Structure 1
Amino acid sequence: MALRRAAAVLAAAAFLAACSGGGGAATSERTGTPSPAPTSDAATTGPTVPGADWERTDAGAAGFDAAALRALDRRLDRQGSSCFVVTRDGEVVHEAYFGGSDEEAMGAAFSVTKSFTSVLVGIAADEGLLDLDDRASDYIPAWKGTAAATITVRDLLANVSGRHWDFSTDYQQMAIAARDKTAYAIGLPQDARPGTVWRYNNAAIQTLDEVLTKATGTTPREYARTRLLEPLQMSRTYWGEDPSGNTTTFSGVNASCLDLARLGLLMLRGGSWGGDQVVSADYVAQAVGRSSSRLNAAYGLLWWVNRKGPVLGALAATGGNTADTGTGGVRRLAPGVPADAFWALGLGKQIVAVVPSEGLVAVRMGSAPQDPDALSPGDFTTDVLATLR
């Protein structure tokens, strides 16, 4: 069974890379009002955000040990990385490319896509096109009058929707086989009352394609182009579709390391970009400033956070371990990392790490390392922080 599941996850990864990952459960309450995301002075008053190209500064001048960064390069190279980028206060302080890759190369970001989707929902909310506490059935008529009728947009973002999940459905039938992934995801049954189960559920997140399409009047892919990719000058980012033309909101973005760093910097800066507020600071605080439910302290709104409590599902996001239910007890996703850190994570150890108190964004892309325990979000972020002098 384990081998079949591993093979299916790899097949899903190959499929999603071409067109461009879950579990854990518990019971408790939905989230309350979020607190603001902590930011440093450097995060809000540092150099301007990048234009078409990034400003680059010497690693030593930015407070890093250049030799330690080069040693980290060698380790990341051995772990199958294609690129590694570190920015501080909006400037590139270190970048390395492996295996023939370069700064223009684009790779599959897999579930980092979920964090892009989160930002799009925030922008739509800012524009008054939806409210996070709207019932999703306002945008998905097929759910009206069913057990899914009371799911909110926020429930989908927090992964507490209670929608059906099993391995075959999520990774095989929806992610690989379904030509119309949105219709398939919408048609699944309801397993639990919203707000009572946390589940890393790709199909549930795919239903946000329908929510965003109905709310904005265009596809999420097109909405992202005009509201996010072009404002941030993300010229090396492509968002894929399924065979029916639906935007794949759970996994489908291909991007360069430097473009993913732009997404991290946007969130580090509280949604501000060169004097424009691309997404509101209020939404950023809700997405990355705290846990979105008491069920999983490590999850914001389609972003991973570093708050204390039960931690579920991070291995599912990066390594395809669908049995990941955490270790229980009270802990943080990355105990040795500042509490204000947050991440966008994707299958194969795609990592966008953001530490606002250090003005830091670090990105790793590539293939999965042979050691499945290597390159956890906490270890990667700890290793980058260790290069600071």
Structure 2
Amino acid sequence: MRASRRHFLHLLSGLAATSGSAAEAPSLNVNAAAKYVASTKGYALYVKQRGKVIHESYFNGAKSGEARRIYSGTKGFWGLAAMAAVEDGVLTLEEKVSATLPEWSGEKKNITIEQLLDFTCGLERCLRLHQDGLKNRNKMAWERPLVGTPGRSFIYGPSALQVFHEVLKRKLAARKRAESPTHYMERRVLRLMGLGPQRYLPDASGNPLLAAGFLLSPRQWAWMGDLLLAKGHPVLKSSSMEPLLEGSSANAAYSFGFWNNRAAGRLGAREMDIEDMLELDWDRQNWSRVCIAKGVPSDLIACIGSSYQRLYAIPSLDLVVVRQGLNAKFSDGHFLRTLLG
């Protein structure tokens, strides 16, 4: 575990508790925010504060209750499943992948499960894993070469998560109560959140695509925000949420499917379009001092999916926001500053 970042998170939590509260939240400019969403090919804007829905609107032909693709928003659910597996004694973050996957030897031998989950294992990202009709996407993933230095290179893509699926699959199969990772996800995460089985996009071997796939309505996706505000309840212990939000030395803004805004309050913070940065080759990306939005609370947590699918949770404001839509030029910073007035 990265102990120094663990300590930082405890300090951050204390600062958030003393620097503001939901009772001091600014008045939200939801009408202006909705206008911006509609103008950027948005389908939906859904806002909850203090547990109550304060705004819900649909645009560009969308209808209330429609489940739509959240793309990489799916990753966060598997991050929750990973930490549930830690709580249940199925695995540890520090253990080597090769202990369960002997196919990994040589330069891959010392890669840890945590490095798979925060995308610092150095594995080629292999976007082909998103394709339908694959025979065994897990095998395709674990056979990818290393192109970066484990622990030092942030490479965002589906391959690392597919290797994690293979590890979880083998570990769950060896338990007295054997079950597949998708069944484990449903029992240990989705049902506790009030969700049912999801769109898994399995290959011919039954392996789901972990990097994307889920279809959720704004109301359903907002339940993830509720969980983030509740520090993991009812799925995880609050202490288990820390690895999900701590970032890594290679990218302090990302862990386990979740993006954080901690750098926003620091000197030299760099607000950028996360999706635009991810479009670059991994070795051209620069994640130093990156934040989601300046002038916005630094405790903001976001799930980010392609085409600007967004879930935001701001604990200090007791606020959850969902934006869904088509690909268009959308700015997280402009939207959030507009909403927060």
* TM-score after normalising by structure 2: 0.84
Q: Which amino acid is the alignment partner of residue 83 of structure 1?
A: A
Deviation at 1:241, TM superposition (A): 2.2
Deviation at 1:156, TM superposition (A): 1.0
Deviation at 1:315, TM superposition (A): 4.7
Deviation by residue 1:106-146 (Cα, 9 ceiling, x = unmatched): 11111111111100001110111111111112232311x33
Match of 2:141 among 178, 185, 191: 185
The equivalent residue for 1:255 is 216
Deviation at 1:282, TM superposition (A): 1.3
Match of 1:214 among 163, 167, 170: 170
The equivalent residue for 2:335 is 380
- Determine helix, strand or coil for the equivalent of 1:230: helix
1:37-52, aligned counterparts within 5 Å? 38=13
Q: Percent identity?
A: 24
Evaluate the alpha carbon distance shift between residue 185 and residue 33 of structure 1 in structure 2; reply closer, same or farther with a 3 A threshold.
Answer: same
Deviation at 1:360, TM superposition (A): 0.8
Q: Which amino acid is the alignment partner of residue 209 of structure 2?
A: T
Deviation by residue 1:260-303 (Cα, 9 ceiling, x = unmatched): 11012112211113xxxx11211212212x32x22212113321
Match of 1:283 among 232, 237, 240: 240
Q: Which amino acid is the alignment partner of residue 70 of structure 1?
A: N
1:143-162, aligned counterparts within 5 Å? 143=104, 145-162=105-122
Greater CA drift, 84-93 or 351-360: 84-93
Q: Counterparts of 1:248 and 1:69 in 2: how far apart (Å)?
A: 35
Match of 1:246 among 197, 207, 221: 207
Give the count of matched residue pairs. 322
Structure 1 contact 318–349 (Cα < 8 Å) conserved? no
- Determine helix, strand or coil for the equivalent of 1:83: strand
Match of 2:103 among 137, 142, 152: 142
Q: Counterparts of 1:90 and 1:240 in 2: how far apart (Å)?
A: 32
Q: Does residue 114 in structure 1 map to residue 71 in structure 2?
A: no
Q: Counterparts of 2:45 and 2:243 in 1: how far apart (Å)?
A: 28
The equivalent residue for 1:199 is 155
Q: Counterparts of 1:318 and 1:223 in 2: how far apart (Å)?
A: 34
Evaluate the alpha carbon distance shift between residue 191 and residue 335 of structure 1 in structure 2; reply closer, same or farther with a 3 A threshold.
Answer: same
Q: Counterparts of 2:287 and 2:86 in 1: how far apart (Å)?
A: 34
1:217-232, aligned counterparts within 5 Å? 217=173, 218-232=179-193
Deviation at 1:164, TM superposition (A): 2.1
Q: Which amino acid is the alignment partner of residue 253 of structure 2?
A: A
- Determine helix, strand or coil for the equivalent of 1:84: strand
Match of 2:296 among 317, 337, 350: 337
Evaluate the alpha carbon distance shift between residue 88 and residue 334 of structure 1 in structure 2; reply closer, same or farther with a 3 A threshold.
Answer: same
Structure 1 contact 238–253 (Cα < 8 Å) conserved? yes
Q: Counterparts of 1:235 and 1:73 in 2: how far apart (Å)?
A: 29
- Determine helix, strand or coil for the equivalent of 2:107: coil
**Cα RMSD, aligned residues only:** 3.0
Deviation by residue 1:64-101 (Cα, 9 ceiling, x = unmatched): 45xx3123222211211121111112221111122333
Q: Which amino acid is the alignment partner of residue 206 of structure 1?
A: Q
Structure 2 contact 299–314 (Cα < 8 Å) conserved? yes
Match of 2:280 among 316, 319, 322: 322
- Determine helix, strand or coil for the equivalent of 2:60: coil
Q: Counterparts of 1:31 and 1:326 in 2: how far apart (Å)?
A: 26
Q: Which amino acid is the alignment partner of residue 383 of structure 1?
A: T
Q: Which amino acid is the alignment partner of residue 107 of structure 2?
A: A
Structure 1: which 5+ runs fail to align? Answer: 1-28, 47-61
The equivalent residue for 2:131 is 176
Q: Does residue 299 in structure 1 map to residue 254 in structure 2?
A: yes
- Determine helix, strand or coil for the equivalent of 1:241: coil
- Determine helix, strand or coil for the equivalent of 1:354: strand
4+ residue runs over 3 A deviation: 29-33, 62-65, 235-240, 309-320, 323-331
Evaluate the alpha carbon distance shift between residue 351 and residue 255 of structure 1 in structure 2; reply closer, same or farther with a 3 A threshold.
Answer: same
Q: Which amino acid is the alignment partner of residue 162 of structure 2?
A: Q
Structure 2 contact 244–255 (Cα < 8 Å) conserved? yes
Q: Does residue 364 in structure 1 map to residue 319 in structure 2?
A: no
